[in-house]
Structure 1
Amino acid sequence: MTDRSTADAASLVPPAPERRPAARTHHGDTFDDPYEWMRDKDDTAVIAHLEAENAYTQARTAHLEGLRERIFQEIKGRTQETDLSVPSRRGEWWYYGRTVEGKQYGIQCRAPLASPDDWTPPVLSPESEVPGEQVLLDGNVEAEGHEFFSLGSFEVSNDGTLMLYGVDVAGDERYTLRVRDLRTGENLPDEIPGTGAGASFSPDGRHIVYTTMDDAWRPDTVWLHELGTDVAADATLFHEADERYWVGAGFTRSDRYLVIGVGSSITSEEWLVDADDLRSEPRVVWPRREGVEYDSDHAVVDGTDVLFILHNDDALDFELVQVAASDPSGERRVVIPHRPGVRLLGLSTFRDWGVLGYRRGGLARLGILDYADGDVRELEFDEPLYAVGTAGNPEWAPPVVRIGYASFTTPGTVYDYEIASGDLLLRKQQPVLGGYDPSDYGQARVWARAADGTPIPVSLVWKRSFGEPGGSPRPVHLYGYGSYEHSIEPGFSVARLSELDRGVIFAVAHVRGGGEMGRQWYEDGKLLAKRNTFTDFVDCARHLVAEGYTTPAALVAEGGSAGGLLMGAVANLAPELFAGILADVPFVDALTTILDPSLPLTVIEWDEWGDPLHDAGVYAYMKGYTPYENVRPDAAYPRILAVTSLNDTRVLYVEPAKWVARLREVGADALLKCEMVAGHGGVSGRYNAWRERAFELAWLLDVLGVADTDDQPKSAAASS
C-alpha cells in the first residue's frame, strides 16, 4: 500500500530532540535514557519540542484536511445538536441536561413536578420552552475565557435550594468547588480550591464532604466543610497515610450514612459515619485484609438497618451477603453465593428492592433483587451483544428503575423498568440524523485462539452493504485495552459510522487483563501474567487475517492509556501484522513511571503491574515488555500516531514524546500530537472532541487506504 503522505513529506524533517546522557540503575541493571530530560515541562526547550512535533504532525497530515472536515461534518450532521436528556426525578423537581446547537458545553436544568405522585418524566421538546424551567448551570458561561473546561462535581441539596459544582480549567483534574444559592442565583462566599471530583452535600444541606489529593495526585483525605465558615477550619474526617490506597466518600441513597471508601487495586475497606452526626468517629465495616475487596450499601429489611456487602473473600467472582449495620463483622447471611463465571459487579439498594449488576457469558446483566428471598429477576434483551447499566436513580423509593442500554448498532436508549409489572418503558433513544437504520449494520462475536489455547472473544460491527465479514479481506480497525478489569462494552458510536460507512470493520479484542470474562480473566492479564494481554491481541489480529477478515496491510490497531501500553507492546511483538497503530495518551514508558514513587499514582499502580523498585523479578519482567525500552532496531514498524496532552496527570506527556523519539531513531514513521491545554481525557467541549476524533479517524482511514484526500473509497485489502 502506498503512503499517500510519503511524497509530500519527503522534504519534511521530523523534530530530533537533543540526546542528553542520563542513566538509571536498578537491581544491577543500567539503562541509558537520553530523552528523560523532556519530563520537565517548565523547561522552555521541552515546550518548543512539543510545539515542533505538533507543527510536523500538522504538515505531515495536511493532505487530510479535507477528509478531516468531512468526517467532522458527518459527526455533526448525525448529531441532534439541540437536545435534552430524559428528566430524572429528585425531590420536587425533574432534573435534566440540555445541549444547544453551536454551544460546546451542556446546560444543567430543572423543572417542577406536576404532582407528588408524578413518576412519568415529561416529554420535553428540545426547541420548546419548558414551563417553570430553571437553568442551574450553563457550562458555556462558566467556560468563557478558558481553553479547557471540565465539571467534576455537580449536586443540588435535598431541599433544592443550593447547588455545588467543581470546575477544572487546566485539565489536571483538580477542581475548585463553589456553591450557588438557587433562590438568588448568586454564589456563596464558600470556595474550595484543589479538590477531587465527586463532592457531596450532607442530607441537611449544611455541609459539604469533599476529598483532596497529595502531591502524587492520590486522593488521600476526606474533609467536612460547614457552609458559611472559613475553609481553613474544615474538619478532617479521614486521612489515608498508606500510599498504596486512595479514598473517596459519598452518602447512601437512603441518606442514612456517609460511606468513606478506601481502596487499592486488590484491597478495599469502608468506614461508616452517621449522616446526622458527621463529626462522629467513623466505624469500620470490615477491617482491610490484603487481597479482599468489598463494597457495601444500606437498606432496611424487616425494619432493621442492614448492609448488603459484595465481597471476594474466598469467592473469586464475588458473593453477596447481608449483615446488621450495627454489627457488620457479625453474622453473615449469604444472599447470592459465589458462582464461578458469574462476576457480581455491584448492588444498588432502594427501599423495597435492589438492582444487581453482574457479568455472564462476556456480557453485562441487570437483575432485580428481592430482599425477602434473594431471588434475582434478570432483565432480558433481544440482541446478542449489548451494554446495559443503571443511570439516574437518586430517589430512595421509586416505583421504577432508570437504565441505559445500547449496542454496536442500537443508539443509546433510556428505559424505566417498572418493578411491579416488569414492563420496560422506553423513555428516549439517542437520535441519529441522516437516515440511520440499525438494520443496515451487523454485529457478532467470534473467537480467536491464544497460543496457550485460551479462546479470546472478538466483537465485530460492520455495514452490511459491503458484505459479511470473512467473505473477502476488508479494512479492519482493531481496538483493545486489557487492564484494571475494565471491560470494553459493545456500545454505540456516532463517530464510528464514518468508518463503517467507508467499508471498515470495527473490532474489539477482549483480551485478558480486562473484565469481560470474569475475575480470572483479569488475574490472567496482570502482574507477572501481563504478557497475556499483548499476545492475546496479537493472536486476535492473526485470527482475523487467517480467517480472511483482513490482511496486515488493511489492519490498524488502537488503544488508549493502559491500552496505549498494549499498542506499544504489540508494535514491538508483531510490527508486521499492522499497517498502523493509533495510541491515545499511551502508557509506553511504564517502567520509568512505576519505578518512581514520587510520580502521580505510581505506588497505587504496583498492585496492577508489580513493584519493580523493590522486586528484581518484577523489574526484569517489566523491562522485557515495556515499549520504550524494547523498540527494535531490526523491525519495520507500521505507521504510528501518538496523541497526548500536556496537563495529563495519569499518563504524562513525556512518555509518548520519548517513545516517538526512540521510534524515529530506528526509522519508524511516527507522529506525535500534543494538546497543550488538556488532560487525560483530551480536549474539552463536544465540537473540539469531534474535531479531535475526526483527526484520528482521517489518519486511520489514510493508513488503511480506504479514503483518498478526495474521499473516494477504495479497498485497502485490494492494494495490499
Structure 2
Amino acid sequence: MKIALTKTKLSLIVSSALLIAACSNQNNENSYEANKAMANIKAPVAKKVPHEMVIHNHTRVDNYYWMRDDSRTNPEILAHLAAENDYTKAQLKHTEAMQEQIFQEIKDRIEKDDNSVPRKSGDFYYSTQMQGENEYPIYVRATDFNGSNLEVLLNVNELAKAHDYYQVTGLRVSPNGKLLAYGEDTLSRRVYTVQFKDIAGNTLLTDKLTGTSGGIVWGNDNKTVYYIKKDPQTLLGYQVFRHTLGTSQADDEMVYEEKNKAYYTGISKSKDDSSIFIWHSSTEASGVSVIDANNAKAMPKKFIEREEGHEYSISKLNDWYYINTNWQATNFRLMKVDKNHLGDKSQWQDVIPANDAVKLERFELFTDHLVYQQRENGISRITIQQLSTGKEQQLSFHDTAYTLHMYGNDEIDNKALRLYYTSFTTPGVDYDIDLTTLTKTTLKQDNVLGDFDSNNYASERIFVKARDGKKIPVSLVYRKDTFKKDGTNPLYQYAYGSYGNTIDPYFSVSRLSLLDRGFVYAIAHIRGSEMLGRPWYEDGKKLTKMNTFTDFIDVTKALTAQGYGDKDKVFAAGGSAGGLLMGAVINMAPELYQGIAAAVPFVDVVTTMLDESIPLTTNEFKEWGNPKEKVYYDYMLSYSPYDQVKTQDYPNILVTTGLHDSQVQYFEPMKWVAKLREYKTDDNLLVFKIDMEAGHGGASGRFKRIHNTALQYSFFIDLLNKS
C-alpha cells in the first residue's frame, strides 16, 4: 500500500486535482469575485460506477466503491475531496466569524504555560512543559520534584517545524538514564520510526527502527531494546523484535510473531524492571508472555496457555504475580500466583473474590499496599489495602459522578498513590494520596482562565428506561442560570458505545462554549460500554449491537420528554465507532435530531469487515462478528449506516475525516456522503470536511485541534440560530 506519499507530491496532486475539478480557489477570498464564486459552488455529485459484491447468495451493488484508493494519489478522487472541502467552506463561510470567536474563547481559557506534575522513575523526575503559543510539549527531567538540575530531553516544537503533521509517542529512557528512545509519525498513519538520542550530547544515534508501533522496552543492559513491527498493509503490530544498539535493523532478531490476526500485540516492563511483558489482546481473550529483562538472549515464556474467552492482565511484586482475570468471574477478580508456578492456573489464589455486581477495573502494587479500582452501578471507587495486615480503606470524592485515573505510579516503593480526578464541574486535579493515612496532597489543579466559576454549573446522573426495560445511565451538565427543566434548552448528546470503552464525566474547557450558550450536555452511557460492568458491554456487541443504537435513541426521547431539552433542538455527535452510532440513529430516527456531527465515522461496516486487507479488520471480528458467517452478515447489514441509507429526510449533517486515517479509511465517510446526497429528500445541510494532512486523531498540536471543535460547535449553533 503506497501510503508513504510526501507532502510535496501530495500538494502537487491536489493542485492538479483542483484544476480537474475546476474549483475556485482565489487567493483573495474577500474580493467580490471570490465571494461570488464561492456562492455558486454546488454540492459535489459523485459519479456512479456499479460494483457488485456477492456473498451468501446475496448481491449488493455499491455505486461508490470506486472511491477507494489505498495509495491516496488518484487525481479524480483527490479532486472530489477538494470539491467537498470547497463546498463545505462555501456553505459555512458565514460561520467563519463565529468559528474564530469560539476558537479564541476556548484558547483564551487555556493556560499557555502549563507544566505537568513530575513523576518519579529511577533517579529522575519526568514532566512536560507547554509554553506560550507552542503547539507541542517539551519533555524535561530533573533530579528532584522541585525541578533541580532541569534538562531538556526533547523539544517536540523544534522537531515538528519541518512537517505538516508530527506526532511523538513512546518516550523511554534507558535504565542508566543516558539514552532516550521515541517514536515519530509524520503522516498520521500511526506507523512510527523509533529514534535514539544521547541525552548528554543532545545527538541522535545512527540507529533507526522503521515501521514500528512506536514504543520500545529497554533491556537492563542499556543496549538491548524490544519493539513491535507493523504489517505495512493491515497496520497490525504482530512481530516483536530485539535490537542491539549499534547494529543494523536488518539484523534484528524476531523473538515473537503473532500468527492469529485477531490479536493485538503490546510490550511493557514490570514495575520492578525484572521482566518484559508481551501482551496478546483480542476482544474476547488475552495472554501474556514473559522475557527476562536481564538476559539479552532470553526468549519469551507463556504465562499460561491462551484460552478462548479468558481475559487477564498481570503485575509483579517480589515473587508473586497478581492477575486481574475473568476466569469464573464475569466482572473479573484479582488472584495471585508464585513465580515458581508460572503456567499453572490451578495454583492461582483469590485476593479479591468475584462479585457479579462490581467490576474490577485495574490495580496498582506497592511494597506493602494493593490499590484497586472497581465500578459499581456506574460509579468508580478506589480501595487501598495494606498487604501485611489486610486492612482496607476507601477513597471518597464530593461529586456524584466523576473520572478517576491512577497514573505515574512507576516506583514500587512509593509512599503515595498518584491520582488524577475530574468531573463535569471540577477541572482536573492531580493528587498524591498517602497510602497509610489517605491524606490527599493537591499537586496541581487545571487552571481555567477568564471568569470561570464552577459554582455556575450543575451536573446530574439519572437513569433512563430503554425500550426493553433496561435502565441506561445518563450524565448531564448545564449552566444553572440558563437551564430550565421545561423543554426549552438546546440539547447536545454524545456517546461512543463500543469496545467496552466507558466515557466517565470529565471537565472540558471547550464544552463551556456550549454550556454558556444555554446547551444541556449529556453523555449517554449506552450498552457497548462497561459503565454497568461487563454484561453491559456484552449486551451491545455482535448480535446485540442494535441495543447500542436504540439506547441512544431512547435516551434522546426520554431527555426531551423529561424537559432536559427541546425536542426540536437536539444535536448529537460521535466519532469513529461513535460515528457509526450517528449513522445508525439517523437512519432509524432522523426526525429526532436537528443536527449531527460524525467524525471519522465507521459507516461501511459490512464491506470493511469482509476485506481483511483493510487495516485492523481481523481484530474486529470479536467486536462486530465475521460477516463471512451468514448470521453476522445479515445482522450487520441490518444496521450498517452505508447500506441502510434510504429515501427519507435526514437532519443537518457535518462529516469530518482525515485523508491518512489508519483506523477508519477516508473512503468510508466519502462514500457515505455521496450516497446520502443521492437518497436524502430534504434541503438540510450535508457538508464534508477532509483534513488532507491528518489521520484518525485529527490535527496534531494543542491549538490546531481546537479548530475542529470550533467548527462543530459553530455548525450546531448556526443551525440553532436559524430555527
Q: 2:97 matched to which residue of 1? A: 66
Q: Quick one: distance in 2 between partners of 1:93 and 1:161? A: 11
1:237–1:279: 8 Å Cα contact kept in structure 2? no
Q: 1:624 matched to which residue of 2? A: 638
- Indicate yes or no: 2:464 matched with 1:435: no
Deviation of 1:375 after TM superposition, in Å, equals 5.2
Q: Quick one: distance in 2 between partners of 1:369 and 1:616? A: 49
Instruction: Give the partner amino acid of 2:153.
Output: L
Q: 2:5 matched to which residue of 1? A: none
- Indicate yes or no: 2:586 matched with 1:571: yes
Name the SS of the counterpart of 2:607 in structure 1: helix
1:474–1:551: 8 Å Cα contact kept in structure 2? yes
Q: 2:415 matched to which residue of 1? A: 399
- Indicate yes or no: 2:689 matched with 1:658: no
Q: Deviations over 1:660-719 (max 9, x none)?
A: 1111112353211111111111110111101121111111212232xx7xxxxxxxxxx5
Evaluate the alpha carbon distance shift between residue 361 and residue 412 of structure 1 in structure 2; reply closer, same or farther with a 3 A threshold: same
Q: Deviations over 1:228-259 (max 9, x none)?
A: 12211111121111111121111101111111
* Equivalent of 2:662 in 649, 668, 675: 649
Q: Quick one: distance in 2 between partners of 1:625 and 1:148? A: 35
Q: 1:527 matched to which residue of 2? A: 542
Q: 2:513 matched to which residue of 1? A: 498
Q: Quick one: distance in 2 between partners of 1:373 and 1:444? A: 38
Q: 2:26 matched to which residue of 1? A: none
- Indicate yes or no: 2:56 matched with 1:27: yes
Q: 1:36 matched to which residue of 2? A: 65
TM-score (norm 2): 0.92
Q: 1:587 matched to which residue of 2? A: 602
Q: Quick one: distance in 1 between partners of 2:77 and 2:391? A: 60
More divergent stretch after superposition (133-142 vs 529-538): 133-142
- Indicate yes or no: 2:47 matched with 1:18: yes
Q: Quick one: distance in 1 between partners of 2:605 and 2:38? A: 31
Q: Quick one: distance in 2 between partners of 1:471 and 1:563? A: 29
2:483–2:520: 8 Å Cα contact kept in structure 1? no
- Indicate yes or no: 2:112 matched with 1:81: yes
Name the SS of the counterpart of 1:146 in structure 2: coil
- Any residues of structure 2 matched to 1:215-226 within 5 Å, and which? 215-226=233-244
Deviation of 1:489 after TM superposition, in Å, equals 1.1
2:194–2:214: 8 Å Cα contact kept in structure 1? no
Aligned length in residues: 680
- Any residues of structure 2 matched to 1:124-273 within 5 Å, and which? 131-214=148-231, 215-273=233-291
2:459–2:476: 8 Å Cα contact kept in structure 1? yes
- Indicate yes or no: 2:708 matched with 1:692: yes
* Equivalent of 2:568 in 532, 553, 576: 553
Name the SS of the counterpart of 1:543 in structure 2: helix
Deviation of 1:376 after TM superposition, in Å, equals 4.3
Q: Quick one: distance in 2 between partners of 1:651 and 1:279? A: 39
- Indicate yes or no: 2:474 matched with 1:458: yes
What CA RMSD, in Å, does the superposition of the two structures yield over aligned residues?
Answer: 1.6
Instruction: Give the partner amino acid of 1:158.
Output: P
Deviation of 1:354 after TM superposition, in Å, equals 2.5
- Indicate yes or no: 2:613 matched with 1:598: yes
For structure 2, which runs of at least 5 residues remain unmatched after alignment? 1-35
Q: 1:294 matched to which residue of 2? A: 312
Q: Work out the percentage of aligned pairs sharing the same amino acid.
A: 38
Q: Quick one: distance in 2 between partners of 1:200 and 1:332? A: 28
1:564–1:587: 8 Å Cα contact kept in structure 2? yes
Q: Quick one: distance in 2 between partners of 1:185 and 1:625? A: 54
Evaluate the alpha carbon distance shift between residue 513 and residue 640 of structure 1 in structure 2; reply closer, same or farther with a 3 A threshold: same
TM-score (norm 1): 0.92
Q: Quick one: distance in 2 between partners of 1:207 and 1:661? A: 51
- Any residues of structure 2 matched to 1:373-522 within 5 Å, and which? 376-468=392-484, 470-522=485-537
- Any residues of structure 2 matched to 1:321-360 within 5 Å, and which? 321-328=335-342, 329=344, 330-360=346-376
1:336–1:374: 8 Å Cα contact kept in structure 2? no
Q: Quick one: distance in 1 between partners of 2:391 and 2:297? A: 38
Deviation of 1:8 after TM superposition, in Å, equals 12
* Equivalent of 1:674 in 675, 690, 707: 690
* Equivalent of 2:124 in 71, 74, 93: 93
Instruction: Give the partner amino acid of 2:115.
Output: L
Name the SS of the counterpart of 2:703 in structure 1: helix
Q: Quick one: distance in 1 between partners of 2:166 and 2:449? A: 28
Q: Quick one: distance in 2 between partners of 1:371 and 1:273? A: 27
Evaluate the alpha carbon distance shift between residue 376 and residue 235 of structure 1 in structure 2; reply closer, same or farther with a 3 A threshold: farther
1:171–1:679: 8 Å Cα contact kept in structure 2? yes
2:39–2:90: 8 Å Cα contact kept in structure 1? no
Deviation of 1:443 after TM superposition, in Å, equals 0.4
Q: 2:27 matched to which residue of 1? A: none
Q: Quick one: distance in 2 between partners of 1:204 and 1:280? A: 13
More divergent stretch after superposition (229-238 vs 566-575): 229-238
Q: Quick one: distance in 2 between partners of 1:516 and 1:374? A: 29
Deviation of 1:157 after TM superposition, in Å, equals 1.7
Evaluate the alpha carbon distance shift between residue 700 and residue 159 of structure 1 in structure 2; reply closer, same or farther with a 3 A threshold: same
1:335–1:374: 8 Å Cα contact kept in structure 2? no
Q: Quick one: distance in 2 between partners of 1:11 and 1:643? A: 22
Q: Deviations over 1:561-581 (max 9, x none)?
A: 001100000000100000011
Instruction: Give the partner amino acid of 2:650.
Output: Y
Deviation of 1:597 after TM superposition, in Å, equals 1.2
Q: Quick one: distance in 1 between partners of 2:532 and 2:331? A: 10
Evaluate the alpha carbon distance shift between residue 103 and residue 34 of structure 1 in structure 2; reply closer, same or farther with a 3 A threshold: same
Q: Quick one: distance in 2 between partners of 1:395 and 1:332? A: 25
2:487–2:562: 8 Å Cα contact kept in structure 1? no
Evaluate the alpha carbon distance shift between residue 375 and residue 60 of structure 1 in structure 2; reply closer, same or farther with a 3 A threshold: farther
2:261–2:618: 8 Å Cα contact kept in structure 1? yes
Q: Quick one: distance in 2 between partners of 1:531 and 1:10? A: 41
1:152–1:197: 8 Å Cα contact kept in structure 2? yes
Q: Quick one: distance in 1 between partners of 2:507 and 2:577? A: 22
Deviation of 1:374 after TM superposition, in Å, equals 5.2
Q: Quick one: distance in 1 between partners of 2:254 and 2:581? A: 40
Q: Deviations over 1:624-678 (max 9, x none)?
A: 1000011120x21100111101111111111111111111112353211111111
Deviation of 1:311 after TM superposition, in Å, equals 0.8
Instruction: Give the partner amino acid of 1:532.
Output: N
More divergent stretch after superposition (40-49 vs 27-36): 40-49
1:418–1:424: 8 Å Cα contact kept in structure 2? yes
- Any residues of structure 2 matched to 1:308-327 within 5 Å, and which? 308-327=322-341
Deviation of 1:352 after TM superposition, in Å, equals 2.4
Q: 1:280 matched to which residue of 2? A: 298
Deviation of 1:281 after TM superposition, in Å, equals 2.6
Instruction: Give the partner amino acid of 1:74.
Output: E
Name the SS of the counterpart of 2:411 in structure 1: coil
Name the SS of the counterpart of 1:52 in structure 2: helix
1:254–1:350: 8 Å Cα contact kept in structure 2? no
Name the SS of the counterpart of 1:196 in structure 2: strand
Q: Quick one: distance in 2 between partners of 1:472 and 1:636? A: 24
1:85–1:96: 8 Å Cα contact kept in structure 2? yes
Q: Quick one: distance in 2 between partners of 1:448 and 1:639? A: 26
